[in-house]
Amino acid sequence: MPYSEDHPMPILQPQDEEAIRQRFESELTSDVKMTLVTHNPIGGLMIPGRDCPSCPTTQDLIGEVVALSSKIELEIVDFYRESEIANSLGVDKIPAVIVHNSDDSAAKFYGLPSGFEFPVLLDAIVAASTQISGLSEAALAALAKVTEDVHIQVFVTPT
């Protein structure tokens, strides 16, 4: 398991890991690509204005999730050292977790995806793999009428 020096203990409890592993085994039908945009200070040196207190924990958590299925591929991008890639992904703050869909759309999570956001992250991974949104027929019909690009943002507070 990938643990950082700052977080030597796993974040997920063993029973949660097993439940997620079983869910992924039964529900993931195709490979899923995820991207974590974060910042890893070189040699532990933190440059003022580039601090990201939740980046190490986010990287540890995502690493634990990815380790639960061989169908999930993770790319890690450093926000500052690989800014062109971060910009091309539309990332303007860190940490950012991106779950890529096969149609070039994506679900993007800013901040540590914990609390109520964590099950939503797992749902996004499954939806990207199965290409099934889980939306009702009525919702899909209503969305089919939308003719312009829409950018939806959901804000949550830590619990």
77-116 tens-digit pLDDT: 999 999 999 999 999 999 999 999 888 889 999 999 998 8
- pTM of this structure: 0.86
CB atoms within 10 A of CB 93: 11
Domain assignment present for 1: no
Count helices and strands (H / E) in the chain: 5, 4
Domain assignment present for 134: yes
Domain assignment present for 159: no
Domain assignment present for 110: yes
Question: Residue 151 pLDDT > 90, yes or no?
Answer: no
Domain assignment present for 2: no
CATH number at residue 99: 3.40.30.10
β-pair partners for 74: 34
Do 35 and 77 form a contact (C-beta atoms < 8 A)? yes
Report the number of distinct structural domains present in the chain: 1
Domain assignment present for 64: yes
Length of the chain: 159
Structural domain span for residue 52: 14-144
Domain assignment present for 137: yes
29-60 tens-digit pLDDT: 999 999 999 998 766 666 777 788 899 999 99
Q: Give me the pLDDT at residue 116, please.
A: 87
Computed over every residue of the chain, the mean pLDDT equals 89
- 46-52: long-range pairs with CB below 8 Å, 24+: 50/80, 52/79, 52/94, 52/95
Domain assignment present for 8: no
